[in-house]
Copies of this chain bind each other. A is one copy, B any other.
Amino acid sequence: MPVEMLRELPLDQILLGDAGTMLRMLPDASVNCVFADPPYNLQLRGELRRPDDSVVDGVDDDWDKFDDFAAYDAFTKVWLSECRRVLNKDGTIWVIGSYHNIFRIGAMMQDLGFWILNDVIWRKTNPMPNFRGRRFTNAHETMIWAAKSKQSRYKFNYQSMKALNDDLQMRSDWTLPLCTGNERLKNVHGLKLHPTQKPEALLHRVIMASTGPGDVIVDPFLGSGTTAAVAKRLHRHFIGIERHPAYVEAAWGRLAAEERAPRNAVVAPPSGRETPRIAFGSFVERGIIRPGTQVMDKQRRFAAEVTAEGGLVSGPHRGSIHQVGAAVQNAPSCNGWTFWHYERDGQLLALDVLRKENKEG
């Protein structure tokens, strides 16, 4: 079946169809980044029960069923090859998986000419236990981050990552909770809409690390739309691909409710020393504080705005909560945690309450 190639990128659209077919419609070397969360090929057998005899709601969807490894490899080769064609020469790709599929995917990526930059571990704070005591608790998933080729001059926002990590280099293991609570999309019955919805904090870090404002990110397995929502929030363009109309519809609804952060909150920080230093970034990443949130001192004499990398901007001043606090007062130093406040439920609260409320901060 001949596929018509689009002459313009379908920016900020969700294409209904399977990954291979839809990717073929996109022009060569036209996008900056790919985030892919393909089926894992879990190969689950019977039902699994918890010690209290309740049944685990496993992933039994048709889209995760393959006859054998050969079938899975054939499927993988199609979409990975198309992703590589669509990426521009300096583009990068992220693929997430578990031990069921990630080794096959990684080997194939190398065979196709991708150049692996890192494997990144998502360490789950609250994984499902191993109920039968037969293996180690499966407490992580693996992401592969790779450039289109060894020659790619890829983008890595080193300073943003360092700022997000208390002024230490960001490591290859990221500790983040599962997607639960209000963030988890529900269907009309109040049950989870999608069995494998990824947390927004994960996508926030991925997008902040490897793209800039205005870049184009393709997600060939969009699912519930996390990639699209976070891309919109951070002023990146997205192109989503999803086979199931119900997921496409839910993703559109989610996007409608998602607001862009203020423009100056997502500008990349200057490289060099005057960069924010704090774990304040973790609150931004986890959505506890949104980029663009207004903060002020207790007397409301000074105001500033939260940036996507976990710092502040106030007029010409940009940097950590401490640096900007000092700058606006024209003071030599400042404890941003106690100086800056924000409004919540009509109250003015010091940023410090965030640390007290969130031990992991």
Contact = CB atoms under 8 A, between A and B. Distances in A.
Contact of A99 (B108, B118, B130, B161): B118
A62 interface: yes
Interface residues of A, number: 56
Interface in A103-162: 103-111, 116-121, 123, 127, 129-130, 133-140, 142, 144-145, 149-151, 156, 158, 161
B104 A139 contact: no
A317 interface: no
Given A53-B331, A99-B116, A150-B62, A172 B110 contact: no
B138 A118 contact: yes
Contact of A171 (B106, B118, B137, B149): B137
Contacts of A173: 121, 123, 139-140, 173
A120 to B, nearest CB: 6
A325 to B, nearest CB: 11
A102 B151 CA distance: 22
B171 A139 contact: yes
Given A62-B151, A104-B110, A107-B104, A136 B170 contact: yes
Contacts of A156: 133-135
Nearest to A103: B106
Given A99-B144, A104-B107, A136 B149 contact: no
A169 B130 contact: yes
A75 interface: no
A302 interface: no
Contact of A107 (B103, B123, B144, B145): B103
Contacts of A105: 103
Interface of A: 53, 62, 65-66, 69, 98-100, 102-111, 116-121, 123, 127, 129-130, 133-140, 142, 144-145, 149-151, 156, 158, 161, 169-173, 209, 329, 331-334
